[in-house]
Structure 1
């Protein structure tokens, strides 16, 4: 793949022979296309499965990661989803092909300089989840709001139904957030992540793994 910089002709789009040109984030990109009739190697198959696994788990949290990786994406001239893949593919997978899976405690869904939460706990109640942390009354951070992802990896449903997402929850000073869930969802396996979102500006904290339930 090639990237044109300072192209006097302006952006070039379209296909010529086995080359196709398009614009990504303001950059003119050219890549080769064509067929490869060779059977994939085991290394290639492992890479494909790793990519599939990471893309699937990130897709369930897309509204969260769109905010969580936005600042880093702008620094790298990438889309937030691309940042999520580049960060998690090398670090948040375990197992070997064909049994590659997500290592949830290592999964990152946001990156930023906002402080995380201390004393983080999550428990299931009759009507949902109760997330608690040590309240902070420092004026600089007390109005930050919690973001939450509850992921149901074993739920047999469409992707958009496999997660419950809160993007503007309780303030840091409150020390508690409740996520309503149906009794059917409460019986499912859950992987829970949180991050803090600055009250002013677009900065966030690194995501924190709150734990697995069921």
Structure 2
């Protein structure tokens, strides 16, 4: 963004498109930004590939990520924080390509205590059922709510739910869409504070083959 301090006929400071305005010894000047002609480096190509891999996965659950990464990992948190974290920790490489390690992938992060003794199972062909301990947890409220995600990281098809059951219910369900039938999904759960002030680290519950 550029700033114009002296009216429409005055010089400006900042960037407009590929033009930069600046002042030197009281004289307003403009210059165009140089156009890069060199090809991208191997490092740049790899970084772009990692970014796209994570961005495509996170775009399947943007609303959940906005809550799960609220004020977490980067200054602005949200999608930017989630991309930064997962690009650093969840992207792995083979000799041929990059891939996302589901055990390292995170949809939420924070200081709120998570759940204990969690398990997930197929209640029916299209419904996942979650169970966890309802024992009281220090520094947490019984009315904290769970956040859920089931995602096929190969085809980037996902089903998420943000404001789920309370911590003290010990169970909840997630209905899956037709698009996930026959897919192997990675399953995650996290907890959102009752007052929405913070959230827990997400917990990876393994993969489930969704029935037909």
Deviation at 1:66, TM superposition (A): 0.2
Segments ≥4 residues shifted beyond 6 Å? none
| Alpha-carbon distance in 1 for matches of 2:77, 2:14 | 20
Deviation at 1:71, TM superposition (A): 2.2
The answer to whether the Cα contact below 8 Å between 1:18 and 1:34 also exists between their aligned partners in 2 is: no
Deviation at 1:58, TM superposition (A): 1.5
Secondary structure (helix, strand or coil) at the match of 2:103 reads helix
Distance 1:138 1:45, change over 3 A: closer
**Rg larger for:** 2
Aligned equivalent of 1:72: 72
Secondary structure (helix, strand or coil) at the match of 1:129 reads strand
Q: What RMSD in Å do the two structures reach over aligned CA positions?
A: 3.0
Deviation at 1:114, TM superposition (A): 0.9
Aligned equivalent of 2:55: 55
Structure 2 unaligned regions, length at least 5: 6-11, 22-31
Distance 1:117 1:40, change over 3 A: same
Aligned equivalent of 2:25: none
| Alpha-carbon distance in 2 for matches of 1:19, 1:189 | 51
1:111 maps to 2:109: yes
| Alpha-carbon distance in 1 for matches of 2:159, 2:183 | 12
| Alpha-carbon distance in 1 for matches of 2:13, 2:120 | 51
Aligned equivalent of 1:180: 175
Within 5 A, what are the aligned runs for 1:145-156?
Answer: 145-155=145-155
The answer to whether the Cα contact below 8 Å between 1:45 and 1:97 also exists between their aligned partners in 2 is: no
Structure 1 unaligned regions, length at least 5: 21-31
Distance 1:178 1:19, change over 3 A: same
Q: TM-score, normalised by structure 2?
A: 0.77
Within 5 A, what are the aligned runs for 1:191-202?
Answer: 191-202=186-197
Distance 1:98 1:175, change over 3 A: same
| Alpha-carbon distance in 2 for matches of 1:79, 1:111 | 10
Distance 1:15 1:211, change over 3 A: same
C-alpha distance after superposition, 1:52-76 (max 9, x if no partner): 1111112112111101111227xx5
Q: TM-score, normalised by structure 1?
A: 0.76
